[in-house]
Structure 1
């Protein structure tokens, strides 16, 4: 049988040991093989791309089984992740698993995850653009309840019970239980460079992006559910007859049961709400309001409240460790990367990339250098890292 006929679906790739091993611990030889394979078999790119996305979803999706992956296969793949992460600790030369997906950006066939550029002018950034981020001084995800401050690891899963207990499972799979005050307002703080997940007492699920604070009660009041957000969350609100309110600096989002994304960073003039499922009511502090339907986005900037139809996938992809962008200037892309990795970017204002609009996607691996190598190759630039500062300049 011809080699390319061995792959007729996404599942074929996900059941292929050589594909999984390449993704998590590839060598120079295997990288060369798969790059050549896709170049020679472009008709298989959709399956190849989707398989990579599902592997990324397993690595970054906290507490959820990625759609389309059966339990047995999921366990098989996660066992491989654990095996190769342990092997990585013993053999520091094994670093390819974190850069394999970014290497795909460098494949010659541009129909994979290629950044595309248009000639549209982006706003000027000034003499020197420094994109900075503040971080939690402790560097840890923190759960604050009453007078207690609990430092947590990256990718910690928190579940609240109806009796005021917080079940915490960290990356070591060790579970511990913390008693929260019955009437306390609690705060989950996620610094730049980290992500987290929490299941609230009513069953609502919240994914917190980098640089985010979520304030929530141990138990919701009898007739209403209220939380406060600074930063960015994706939330799946548990259905209930009691309304759910999310308060930001500029607005209040009211829902009954739905899935949506809220971006409300303090250093951004514009807040946004992107609806995936259900409906939400947006009310601003200037007494303006609108109703969102699926695939719509509300933007709140000062006194202005606008609604647009959007592709929601590009606004919620961060939850799966993917950065999707559609006609965005590189300055915005770098700002997002800065939050995600807790780094500062400084760019030369004369670079062409500062005046171009980009579309595409990046897989956000654990290795920032692999992502920056992809960005540099596709934007014809070079970069230099000094601790947590990255300088971008012309080749």
Structure 2
């Protein structure tokens, strides 16, 4: 074959050669583009396969338990829902009002019956009830401001409920775990059962126990929550990220307190004498360098009063000591006045005015 040099190629031949070269470049680029599309499509398919898995994992971690869903649906954590008397709710329809300032509620169960006693009197009995006894029937004990209650759950766990507290729990616990939901403050003396762990759910987290004595403080209108452990061992599990559903877990042993700040999403664990945190069930409040604002909030719950503050700077003062809440409100405020040099007035409309 006769090969010509570039200087021997005619103008027409040069144009034909240029077209063939351009066509080759276009075909090459087209093949590369198609290859990239295949890679992108494959990556996209893999991505769509992975993303749902991540979402499912997050959703699984954020899934609410049955009792949390029940409480959310009933909106019982709205503190304005409290009535004048202690109320015992049994299921959706039965509401029993308990007029006494201090009430004792106890649950007993057998293979065929569930009984509820209030101050040693039977108020509910499933002996003649038809239908399965293991169906989840949620109860709640609602303790308004100015009152307290003590109860024994169906497993033998003892609970002391402070003023302004709601405890929600099943009539009969499930076979593999025991769960309650707390809004307010309570001391738990949990009956030991290593086969059925006990969970205390709160708005910001949960506490997992096997058998122990501890105090939980978790009022819906306050950003601070704490768990103080007297005996045994617990895990305090609090929310770290609402978006990702992640949590912070702190393992507590006797003499430890886990304090959670729902605004900062942070937990602080300290070692100290936790006995003072248990004293309120005996009618005594113990404070150590606590701000007056926090103290006044607790007093307002105990005495079921409204508070109006004219001098906000006085709320930053601190108080250390003990207050016997069996005394009158006037006696309590006199002690605080002598220690912190604040001025106050008790109005006729059950209002405490801080000047």
Alignment correspondent of 1:308: 270
Is residue 174 of structure 2 the alignment partner of residue 221 of structure 1?
Answer: yes
**Match of residue 381, structure 1, among 326, 338, 342:** 342
Out of 117, 120, 127, which is 1:167 matched to? Answer: 117
1:283 to 221, 237, 240: 237
Shift of 1:332: 1.1
1:297 aligned residue: 257
Q: Secondary structure at the match of 1:288?
A: strand
Q: 1:267 aligns with which of 218, 221, 224?
A: 221
CA distance 1:265–1:350, change in 2 (3 Å): closer
Gaps of 5+ in 2: 1-77, 240-245
Task: Provide the residue aligned with 1:257 in structure 2.
Answer: 211
Q: For residues 261 and 223 of structure 1, what CA distance do their matches in structure 2 show? A: 24
Checking the alignment, whether the CA contact within 8 Å between 1:136 and 1:192 is kept in structure 2 is: no
1:179 maps onto 2:125 in alignment = yes
Question: TM-score when scaled to structure 1?
Answer: 0.61
User: Is the CA contact 1:282–1:291 (under 8 Å) kept in the aligned structure 2?
Assistant: yes
State how many pairs are aligned: 256
Q: Which residue of 1 aligns with 2:36?
A: none
Counterpart of 1:57 in structure 2 is none
| Superimposed CA distance per residue, residues 23-81 of structure 1 (whole angstroms, 9 cap, x where no aligned partner) | xxxxxxxxxxxxxxxxxxxxxxxxxxxxxxxxxxxxxxxxxxxxxxxxxxxxxxxxxxx
- State the partner residue of 1:390: 352
For structure 1, the 5+ residue unaligned runs are 1-132
Mean Cα deviation higher: 203-212 or 178-187: 178-187
Q: Distance in 2 between matches of 1:134 and 1:371?
A: 25
Q: Give the match for residue 337 of structure 1.
A: 299
Coordinate RMSD, CA, aligned: 1.9
* CA–CA distance in structure 1, aligned partners of residues 118 and 320 of structure 2: 38
Task: Report the alpha carbon displacement of residue 310 of structure 1 after superposing the two structures with TM.
Answer: 2.2
Q: Shift of the alpha carbon at 1:350? A: 6.3
2:14 corresponds to which residue? none
CA–CA distance in structure 1, aligned partners of residues 310 and 124 of structure 2: 49
Decide which of 303, 315, 318 is 1:354's aligned counterpart.
Answer: 315
Displacement, 1:282? 1.6
**Offset of residue 136 of structure 1:** 4.6
For 1:151, what is the secondary structure of its paired residue? strand
Q: CA deviation at 1:366?
A: 4.9
Higher relative contact order (CA 8 A, sep 6+): 1
